[in-house]
Amino acid sequence: MRKTISNFLNLHIGEENPTIVLENVTSNVSFRGANLWILACAILIASVGLNVNSTAVIIGAMLISPLMGPIVGAGFALATFNFSLLKKSMKNLLIATVVSLTVSSLYFYLSPFKDIQSELLARTSPNIYDVLIAFFGGIVGAVSITRIEKGNPIPGVAIATALMPPLCTAGFGIATGNWSFVAGAFYLYTINCFFICISTFLIIKFLKYQAVETTNKAFEKRIRYGISILIIVMIVPSCYLAYNLLNQKKYNQNVENFIDNEFSKKGYTVIYKKVDYNSNPKLIELVFLSTKFDSTEIKNFNSSLQDFGIKNTNLVIKQNTSDIKKEILSEINLQKTNITEKDLQVNELKNELNIYKMDNPELVKEVKILFPEVQEMAIGKLQNYITADSTSLETAFIYQSETKIDEKKLKAWLANRLKTSNIILFNTTKDTSKKKK
């Protein structure tokens, strides 16, 4: 039984000759001639996809991108102590990165469309899931290159690990001077490179590929020491990175639980939320629809943060109207995405409703003073469906009055006050009395 399970999970079954694997890895590392042209075209396609917010175009660009080559080569070189391959891989990865940033920056600089689309925003905030995707995607890629039958995992790995979109997003940041985009996107690109490299290293070590030997034992020893130090330098920050991203994910979940339990479930509507995990102390900013809290309540909310596992955090509830408007507008400008068809329909309906809506509290006050007999009133606009155009709108004034009112005078005053001759009066009290009869 144990032997059956062992054979079932045996990675050596269907394994390619290590010499051929090394030749394939080495040939895919170089960025010269055709590979460089393919990379530049792939970068341009990915940039266009990000610019027009097309997921399909971005996926197409990732499929033809040769960026995985030098990263896998670096992981292979680390596992086999192949110093020359490592040097070549790192050099070509640097060339590919510089070329990608240059091409994407140039494209976005020349492009007339510089709106921040959702596909661009998605590449500026890496999380723990990006680490997991890069790591397991790298394992699939490393296993695939060691097989006789390559199959179709490599294209899937290229799509899943998404090396190109972060580079293009960084290029967008450089072209527009948005350095927070550059930092976030390049951070994601670094995560992907690190963990693909580490997973390749682990698979090649697991398969026990023979390390490179040299005639100069002292030089070989120095190379081994150097590469071992480099492996530690890569693994330690990678582990810290994964740990930090995991903590950030947990922190955000705790914040959501806190807001849900302390506010949402109690009927308070949160219209704006901002969480700054990287500040010291960490910061949570909230804005509510209409609720106002006093200083004691805000202090109690800050104290209850500990109950939800939220430490070293300051809760700020903004209640100054002008500050709230500035915060929301700046957030909208930062995270502006393209207007969807649904947004257009909503705006169209709002504009249509505004044609019929009349909100004039001053008019109501004046009516109360000039015509005290009026008890209840409502005012709005009605569409004349015979002519069916906006100029045929009539102003309807509906009121209740138990005593007789001079409707001629009221109508003349409303026409003068509202600058329109299309005034219709409805006395609902009269209608009610008729119904009673």
Mean pLDDT (the chain) is 79
Each residue's pLDDT tens digit, 359-393: 677 788 888 888 888 888 888 777 655 444 444 56
pLDDT for 371 equals 83
**In which band, very low, low, confident or very high, does the pLDDT at 294 lie, cut at 50, 70 and 90?**
confident
Mean pLDDT, rounded, for 312-322:
79
DSSP 340: P
CA 154 to chain centroid, in Å, comes to 26
Radius of gyration over alpha carbons of the chain, in Å? Answer: 33
**Encoded amino acid at 224, one letter:** R
**What's the CATH architecture for 355-436?**
2-Layer Sandwich (3.30)
Lowest mean pLDDT among 155-164, 239-248, 250-259: 155-164
Report the CATH number of the 2-212 domain. Answer: 1.20.1080
Phi-psi region of 355 (alpha: psi -120 to 50; beta: other; left: phi over 0): alpha
Lowest mean pLDDT among 91-100, 172-181, 421-430: 421-430
Mean pLDDT, rounded, for 187-200:
85
pLDDT for 106 equals 93
Helix (H, G, I), strand (E, B) or coil at 273: strand
Residue 273 has pLDDT above 80, yes or no: yes
Residue bearing the bigger pLDDT, 420 or 37: 37
The answer to whether 268 and 317 have CB atoms below 8 angstroms apart is no
Q: pTM of the predicted model, to two decimals?
A: 0.59
Name the fold adopted by 254-334: GMP Synthetase; Chain A, domain 3 (3.30.300)
- Domain boundary assignment for the chain: 2-212, 254-334, 355-436
φ, ψ of residue 314 to 5 degrees: the values are: -110, 125
User: Which CA distances in Å does 361 have to 331, 366, 372, 413, 428?
Assistant: 32, 9, 16, 16, 21
Distance CA 425, CA 398 (A): 6
pLDDT for 54 equals 84
Each residue's pLDDT tens digit, 200-231: 888 888 888 888 776 667 766 776 777 778 76
DSSP 265: G
Lowest mean pLDDT among 68-77, 292-301, 303-312, 397-406: 397-406
pLDDT for 103 equals 92
Distance CA 137, CA 293 (A): 48
Lowest mean pLDDT among 7-16, 264-273, 387-396: 387-396
Residue 95 has pLDDT above 50, yes or no: yes
Token pair 């009269």: residue:
430
Residue 190 has pLDDT above 90, yes or no: no
Residue bearing the bigger pLDDT, 400 or 335: 400
pLDDT for 345 equals 54
Nearest to 78 by CA among 210, 203, 227: 227
Each residue's pLDDT tens digit, 139-174: 888 888 888 876 656 666 666 667 888 888 999 999
Helix (H, G, I), strand (E, B) or coil at 233: helix
Beta bridge partners of 368: none
DSSP 400: E
Asked if domains 2-212 and 254-334 share a fold, the reply is no
Mean pLDDT, rounded, for 131-145:
85
Residue bearing the bigger pLDDT, 5 or 400: 400
Dihedral over alpha carbons 29, 32, 33, 39 (to 10 degrees): 70
Dihedral over alpha carbons 369, 370, 375, 376 (to 10 degrees): -90
Residue bearing the bigger pLDDT, 59 or 121: 59
Percentage of the chain modeled with pLDDT above 90 = 9
